[in-house]
Structure 1
Amino acid sequence: MKVTFGQNGSGAGPLYRLYTARLRRQLAQLHVPHHVAMMIDGNRRWAKQLGYATPAHGHRAGAAKMREFLGWCDELGIDVVSLYLLSADNLRKRDSNELADLIDIIAELAEALSREGNWRVQTVGRTDLLPPDLARVLSDATERTKDHTGLHVNLAVGYGGRNEIVDAVRSILAQHDANGGTIAELAESLTPEIIGQHLYTTGQADPDLVIRTSGEQRLSDFLLWQSAHSEFYFVEALGPDLREVDFLRAIRDYASRDRRFGG
């Protein structure tokens, strides 16, 4: 079935709504992922293409899209969503003005999500690398929602997958040393499960599906350990242009796959 969505592909017309409803009916009979990780990419390109003076317009549009995306996930019954908002590399490499705008936008997003019904917000990343005001907002959002039982939202801020693994190993070493164990004993007892218990996402199931927008096909240091057996789906749309139909197609594609978990 070929569907025409209109001149800009925004999905505002009746055919789009009918097609979206059809996809939702299909998915009601299928297995949806428990945990979805989202890499929203292309915000800067979106702003440039539309002639905006700064990337901040793109980042703000991307943040608004992420709130919409979380609503789609919640409606579909997905339990956990991880959003890649700011990498540790971004903190070192981004232009200072762009970074300042991005930090403000992330703070506004975290504050808004923490007041979004029964959603639980958790920060994953090195908050010690962040400006104190942003670290405080993220901490407050986590504390405010710690008893919520709805959609679990991981905000990856100041995050790096390699850093996470290093921090996990350091935590294991410190714990082992405190217990008076030897290096030989540690080497003998170390397992992937033990490392998993010391990751930022300890206690959570690994992502079933990782989605990335803008057509890029790389992990960019996101959830390296956790995504070892994840399925991947790449969307051509730039982050702010992501449509619900794009998301539903990703879920439909996931449900059709024969997951082998490394086999």
Structure 2
Amino acid sequence: MFEKFKKSKKEPGSISEEEIVKGPIPNHIAIIMDGNGRWAKKRSLPRTAGHHEGMKVVKRVTKLASRLGVKALTVYAFSTENWKRPEDEVNFLLKLPEEFMGTFLPELVEENVRVQIMGNKDAIPTHTQKAVDKAVNDTKHNTGMVLNFALNYGGRAEIIEAVNNILVDYQEGNLHNKVDETLFDQYLMSAGLQDPDLLIRTSGEIRLSNFMLWQLAYTEFWFTDVLWPDFKEQHLLEAIQAYQKRGRRFGGI
């Protein structure tokens, strides 16, 4: 069961959950989980060991985000470009959702977290599809935080697919309104989710890597040199605290 919110002993220089919940909590946090391979290499371990360790971090971050009142958490699990990696690493990455859901799904169900997937599922192995479909189905009636996995996802592919679907609907006579941002949002894989308020990227890289290119237009970015397997709850609190100190004007004054 997720640990319930409670007062915690504060170490010098640390940020407490009690402090964070006093300020605005991002409704939607997106995370580019980077650095698994480098974490493993530093320890003379196979890259797959870093990915496995990173899976444990997803669990911890999910629990804390839900406890803080975050409404949606999107994690970049596998990109359309990740197919370029060695075959054994790709196969391992696509087995992780099955293991993750198998061990964590009962807690997600119990704690009212709803699982969603965005990306092209048709290209991923059948065993991976079954695992994610079960997680989505078993949590579909939950009303708490949405845990959204970007799996075989690419921002450019998402936009192209949206445009093609709009064209199809127009040609078939199902679309009569002028295309604006609101309508376009409805054709994206993230339809139904608010755009991310906060993007976190680990490992020191400062780029979007084809992630949620449309949705991140006015998102606050937070980068850290910490490798994803070393990402702790305290880092998430630090990112949210930085978000709370920023003034979001969305192009205004």
Q: Same fold per TM (> 0.5)? A: yes
One-letter amino acid of the counterpart of residue 22, structure 2? Q
Mapped contact 2:10–2:16 kept (Cα < 8 A) = no
- CA distance in structure 2 between the partners assigned to 1:74 and 1:215 by the alignment: 26
Q: Does 1:101 align with 2:92?
A: yes
Cα distance in 1 for residues equivalent to 2:9 and 2:209: 32
Distance change in 2, residues 1:142/1:180 (3 Å):
closer
Q: Is the 8 A contact 2:119 2:151 kept in 1?
A: yes
| CA distance in 2 between partners of 1:125 and 1:244 (Å) | 27
Summarize deviations over 1:44-77 as a string: whole Å, max 9, x none: 000010111x211000000111111111111111
Per the alignment, residue 43 of structure 1 pairs with 36
Q: Aligned residue for 2:228?
A: 239
Q: What's the secondary structure of 2:31's corresponding residue?
A: strand
- Contact 1:107–1:138 under 8 Å retained in 2: yes
Unaligned runs of 5+ in 1: 1-14
1:25-174 aligned within 5 A: 25-52=18-45, 54-91=46-83, 93-115=84-106, 116=108, 117=110, 118-174=112-168
The CA deviation at 1:18 is 2.7
Displacement, 1:19? 4.4
Do 2:97 and 2:132's aligned partners in 1 also have CA atoms closer than 8 Å?
no
How far, CA to CA, are the matches of 1:144 and 1:172 in structure 2? 31
Code of the aligned partner of 2:122: D
TM-score (norm: length of structure 1) = 0.87
Alignment counterpart, residue 215 of structure 1, candidates 194, 198, 204: 204
TM-score of the pair, normalised by structure 2: 0.90
- State the 1:180 CA deviation: 6.5
Q: 1:261 aligns with which of 217, 228, 250?
A: 250
Considering only aligned residues, what root-mean-square deviation do their CA atoms show, in Å?
A: 1.9
Residue aligning to 1:190: 179
Q: In the alignment, residue 230 of structure 2 is paired with which amino acid? A: D
With 138-147 and 102-111 compared, the bigger mean Cα shift is at: 102-111
Displacement, 1:149? 1.0
CA distance in 2, matches of 1:255, 1:236: 21
Shift of 1:262: 3.2
Is the radius of gyration larger for structure 1 or structure 2?
1
| 1:16–1:196 Cα change, 3 Å | same
Structure ranking higher in helix proportion: 1
Residue identity in the other structure for 1:75: R
Whether contact under 8 Å (1:20, 1:244) holds in the other structure is no
Residue segments in structure 2 that go unaligned for 5+ positions in a row: 1-7
Name the CA shift for 1:26/1:213 in 2 (closer, same or farther; >3 Å).
same
| Runs (4+) off by over 4 Å | 19-22
Secondary structure at the residue paired with 2:247?
Answer: coil
**1:257 match: secondary structure:** coil
| Equivalent in the alignment of 2:3 | none
Tell me which amino acid in the other structure corresponds to 1:71.
Answer: K
Counterpart CA distance in 2 for 1:261 and 1:159 is 26
The CA distance in 1 between the partners of 2:195 and 2:174, in whole Å, is 31
Aligned length: 242
Q: Is the Cα contact below 8 Å between 1:212 and 1:234 reproduced in 2?
A: yes
CA deviation vs aligned residue, 1:157-189 (integer Å, no higher than 9, x gap): 0000000011111111111122166xxx77xx1
| Helix, strand or coil at the partner of 1:147 | coil
- Decide whether the 8 Å contact of 1:113 with 1:119 is kept in 2: no
Please give the alpha-carbon distance, in whole angstroms, between the structure 1 residues aligned to 2:145 and 2:36. 25
Matched letter for residue 62 of structure 2: L
Quick one: which amino acid aligns to residue 120 of structure 2? R
